[in-house]
Amino acid sequence: MKTIKLSATDSTNSFLKDLAQNSTLENFTTVVTQNQIKGRGQQQNKWVSEPHKNLTFSIFISFTDLKVVQKKYLNFAISLAIYDVLFANNLPKPSIKWPNDILSANKKICGILIENTFSGDRIKNSFVGIGININQETFPAYLNNATSLKLETGLEYDLDLLLKAILDEIKKNIKRLTSQNFNLLEEKYLDVLYKKNIPTMFKNSKDEIFMGMISGISDFGKLQVQLEDDVIKEFGLKEISFL
């Protein structure tokens, strides 16, 4: 497994994708930077990270037989790997907020961006961008729901050791994925899913407010919410948010 360390870059995902276009990458090639200048998150959001304090990295993963319709299990595998490492490092009240944010109580500590390339009905490669707040102690005012491992535990962490632990765990979960151990991944994911089976207020894309309970994830990776009339409705990424 090759690791490329950069002092600074705009985006580790963009760097890794450019690298893949011009060379043949070893599986699990990882690009990590001390200073990510233009980090990207879901839905064109920015990922803001103080230099030298956090983990910002991307992993190249190639597949031979992972179908596009199975991509939700890739999401489960990656987010669970990070969850497990943060849990092992004493993160209090951890959970996974659909689809793949890691929270401590209701504060965000990690964001994940997975960008795939396809060949027919199969996923050929994945570029997995990960940002984890580790030793950062202050955040911009507009990031009022952000936290870090140090803020939550009071401890200082070795970034290299944490990165190694996360990469090892991701490799374990990718092995489960390629062995088609889908039930285990889904069971573990649903067990730590934020607000699952808890009555919660939501807002849809039309700004309509409603009450429901998260009940699961559909075959196509959509969030399943049981409404007050017991009907289960499915929502895509841009179709629902917590109120």
- Sorted by where each begins, the domain ranges of the chain are 3-191, 200-242
- CA dist 123 and 159 (Å) reads 30
- CA dist 101 and 96 (Å) reads 6
Q: What is the pTM of this model?
A: 0.94
Note the pLDDT of residue 155: 97
Class in CATH terms, 3-191: alpha beta
The pair of structure tokens assigned to 11 is: 């985006």
> In CATH, what is the architecture of 200-242?
Roll (2.30)
Burial 152-185 (b: 16+ CB within 10 A, else e): beeeebebeebbebbbebbbebbebbeeeeeeeb
Note the pLDDT of residue 36: 86
Note the pLDDT of residue 150: 98
Half-sphere exposure of 147 toward its Cβ, with a 13 Å CA cutoff?
A: 20
Note the pLDDT of residue 62: 97
* Digitized pLDDT (tens) for each residue of the chain, 243 residues in all: 799 999 999 999 999 999 999 899 999 999 999 998 866 555 556 667 889 999 999 999 999 999 999 999 999 999 999 999 999 999 999 999 999 999 999 999 999 999 999 999 999 999 999 999 999 999 998 888 999 999 999 999 999 999 999 999 999 999 999 999 999 999 999 999 999 999 999 999 999 999 999 999 999 999 999 999 999 999 999 999 998
Task: Determine how many CB atoms are found less than 10 A away from the CB of residue 12.
Answer: 27
